[in-house]
Amino acid sequence: MLPLFVSGRDARTIPVWPVDTAGLEGWLAAQPATAAAWARTSQFRAQAGQVLKIPSANGELAATAFGLGEGGDPLLWRALPEALGPGTYAIEGRMTEDTARMAALAWALGSYRYERYKKPVKADAQPQLVLPDGVDGDDASRIAEGVFLARDLINTPANDMGPQELSDAAAALAQRHGAALHILAGEALLHHNYPMIHAVGKASVRPPRLLDMRWGDVNAPRVTLVGKGVVFDSGGLDLKPSDGMRLMKKDMGGAANVLGLAHMIMGAGLKLRLRVLIPVAENAVAGNAFRPGDILNSRKGLTVEIGNTDAEGRLILADALTEGASEQPEYLFDLATLTGAARTALGAEIPPFFTPDDALAAQLSLCSQRVADPLWRLPLWQPYARGLESGIADVNNVTEGGMAGAITAALFLQKFVEGARVWAHFDIYAWNAKAGPGQKAGGEAMAIRALYALLRDRF
Ligand code: BES
Ligand code: MN
Ligand code: ZN
């Protein structure tokens, strides 16, 4: 369990009273007169995220109240660790099991810091939460660790998070959970028929790779995760402008997220056979870079005309998905920072997902709601696949005009997943543009808490 949690109260435990706007007057009435007066003096109105610190007669922190506003945001509790000083806190009053579980998880999620490159300052000890009754602290910790792993990997800049370092991170995770990791690097990708991973990554001095991790009972149902691992996306010869390139260290966000999800799955010991496939490449510029107009062969055998070297993610994913689908897993999920168009459609906070399977889509939406990990289904609108036609190859990697770019990218991927019984593709941003209460700007886990909930229900 993370040190953010303790299992029981003692004499120094500080109460936290959750108060919503409707309950404010009732709560004030139930408090000692001095505390109620202090709340009024401090203009505590139970606004969402508002924190009231109530001193004792000798000026120490005696109790706190936490404003829930109208009470609609189950992750609001992320704001607390930052707002409170060091100490041990316990949530007062009755909560449903769901509310308590989300509160504890949110507490952990809000405690994240990324300090690798900062001069060490004497940081205050992190506040600790007494686990609310009935909450599985190990599970909350596991989820938070998975999220933190994803964030750390994304936040680490490309000079320190190249193909080698991303492999090392996968190896460390595999080692921790007793998983097997197989790596193909450089020319070996050609010998083992991953031509598009090789083509995208070959212009970098840091050669491309395919990471292949397996874990669990070989006879259990198969779940395969595929994550886009572009350690930096310059756009290639179709070079991105400065604005577009600035954040492209995060283009391995899909890989980071599937590793975070793998941590949750393996840590929980779910009864499934896990495979994680991560195609890793740096989309760089050099004399030997792949070019617009080149035609690549793919693992599947389809020839792909390169309309744009900046649509590199779908190329490396296609080869990995072909391999993943060939085993006919029960579930095949891919996560990728695939298109700017997904952001145009839904903004940075809501990843679209695509699946031909209506039942899976419904389950995913329910899980997404239950754990407050937003997702929204977009259609695999087959008529748009016509835009991917090429005059001289089997398929083009982009469409002309670029309308519905997130959908056409998903339709491109779909050409390579034949065989998978149930496939879903998640086009994630993997980044918080702005800091919010309990949310740091920077790398972010997206879709994996919902997926973990789905897999936990099923296995
Ligand atoms: N990694 C980018 C997509 C991206 C850009 C995600 C910005 C999040 C924020 C991807 O490789 C890319 O460059 N996609 C192009 C595709 C286009 C050339 C068809 C895009 O979205 O502009
Ligand atoms: Mn790109
Ligand atoms: Zn990219």
Pocket of ligand 1, candidates 310, 396, 411: which has the most ligand atoms within 8 Å of its Cβ, to mutate? 310
Atom of ligand 1 nearest to the CA of 238: 18
Pocket of ligand 1, candidates 250, 339, 413: which has the most ligand atoms within 8 Å of its Cβ, to mutate? 339
Examine the residue annotation and report whether 240 is marked as an active-site residue of this protein.
Answer: yes
Q: Is 398 in the pocket of ligand 1 (CB under 6 A)?
A: yes
Nearest to 152 by CA among 169, 176, 174: 169
Query: If you measure from the C-alpha of residue 405 to the centroid of ligand 3, how many angstroms do you get, rounded to a whole number?
Result: 13
Q: Please pick, among 101, 228, 314, 415, the residue that the annotation labels catalytic.
A: 314
For ligand 1, atom 3, the nearest C-alpha belongs to 339
Distance CA(61)–CA(59), nearest Å, equals 7
Q: Please pick, among 53, 240, 377, 456, the residue that the annotation labels catalytic.
A: 240
| Residue 192 CB contacts under 8 Å (≥ 6 apart), including other chains | 184, 210
Written as six digits, the tokens of 106 are: 């949110």
Atom of ligand 1 nearest to the CA of 314: 11
Q: Is 231 in the pocket of ligand 1 (CB under 6 A)?
A: no
Render pLDDT for 250-284 as a digit per residue (tens, 0 to 9). 999 999 999 999 999 999 999 999 999 999 999 99
Q: Is 405 in the pocket of ligand 1 (CB under 6 A)?
A: yes
Whether the pLDDT of residue 123 is over 90: the answer is: no
Q: Which ranges in the chain are annotated with CATH 3.40.630.10?
A: 141-458
- Between the CA of residue 79 and those of 64, 111, 118, what are the distances in Å? 14, 9, 22
Query: If you measure from the C-alpha of residue 314 to the centroid of ligand 3, how many angstroms do you get, rounded to a whole number?
Result: 8
pLDDT, mean over the chain:
97
Whether the pLDDT of residue 121 is over 80: the answer is: no
Q: Is 155 in the pocket of ligand 1 (CB under 6 A)?
A: no
Render pLDDT for 186-243 as a digit per residue (tens, 0 to 9). 999 999 999 999 999 999 999 999 999 999 999 999 999 999 999 999 999 999 999 9
For ligand 1, atom 14, the nearest C-alpha belongs to 339
Q: Is 339 in the pocket of ligand 1 (CB under 6 A)?
A: yes
Query: If you measure from the C-alpha of residue 312 to the centroid of ligand 3, how many angstroms do you get, rounded to a whole number?
Result: 6
Query: If you measure from the C-alpha of residue 246 to the centroid of ligand 1, how many angstroms do you get, rounded to a whole number?
Result: 12
pLDDT-derived band at 22 (thresholds 50, 70, 90) equals very high
Nearest to 243 by CA among 340, 316, 156, 157: 340
> What is the secondary structure of 113-163 as a DSSP string?
---TTSPP--PPPPPEEEPPTT--HHHHHHHHHHHHHHHHHHHS-TTTSSH
Query: If you measure from the C-alpha of residue 192 to the centroid of ligand 2, how many angstroms do you get, rounded to a whole number?
Result: 25
Render pLDDT for 367-378 as a digit per residue (tens, 0 to 9). 999 999 999 999
Q: Is 251 in the pocket of ligand 1 (CB under 6 A)?
A: yes
For ligand 1, atom 8, the nearest C-alpha belongs to 340
Render pLDDT for 290-303 as a digit per residue (tens, 0 to 9). 999 999 999 999 99
Examine the residue annotation and report whether 116 is marked as an active-site residue of this protein.
Answer: no
Query: If you measure from the C-alpha of residue 453 to the centroid of ligand 3, how many angstroms do you get, rounded to a whole number?
Result: 28
Q: Report, at the CATH architecture level, how domain 141-458 is classified.
A: 3-Layer(aba) Sandwich (3.40)
Q: Is 15 in the pocket of ligand 1 (CB under 6 A)?
A: no
Distance CA(178)–CA(98), nearest Å, equals 32
Share of the chain above pLDDT 90, in %: 96
Amino acid at 131: L
Q: Is 427 in the pocket of ligand 1 (CB under 6 A)?
A: no
| 255 touches 166 (CB < 8 A) | yes
DSSP bridge partners of 66: 18, 51
Phi first, then psi: give them for residue 180, nearest 5 degrees: -95, 140
Atom of ligand 1 nearest to the CA of 308: 18
pLDDT-derived band at 162 (thresholds 50, 70, 90) equals very high
Render pLDDT for 392-421 as a digit per residue (tens, 0 to 9). 999 999 999 989 999 999 999 999 998 777
CATH annotation of 5-135: 3.40.220.10
Q: What dihedral do alpha carbons 298, 301, 305, 311 form, nearest 10°?
A: -40
pLDDT-derived band at 124 (thresholds 50, 70, 90) equals confident
Render pLDDT for 344-366 as a digit per residue (tens, 0 to 9). 999 999 999 999 999 999 999 99
Share of the chain above pLDDT 70, in %: 100
Interior/surface letters 252-272, b for 16+ CB within 10 angstroms, e for the rest: bbbbbbbbbbbbbbbbbebeb
Region at 180 (left for phi over 0; alpha for psi -120 to 50; beta for the rest) = beta
Q: Which ranges in the chain are annotated with CATH 3.40.220.10?
A: 5-135
Task: Report the length, in residues, of the chain.
Answer: 459
Written as six digits, the tokens of 403 are: 């309308």
Query: If you measure from the C-alpha of residue 132 to the centroid of ligand 3, how many angstroms do you get, rounded to a whole number?
Result: 42
For ligand 1, atom 7, the nearest C-alpha belongs to 340
Atom of ligand 1 nearest to the CA of 228: 1
Atom of ligand 1 nearest to the CA of 337: 6
For ligand 1, atom 22, the nearest C-alpha belongs to 340
Residue with tokens 């993997």: 430
Closest ligand to 308 CA?
Answer: 1
Query: If you measure from the C-alpha of residue 257 to the centroid of ligand 1, how many angstroms do you get, rounded to a whole number?
Result: 18
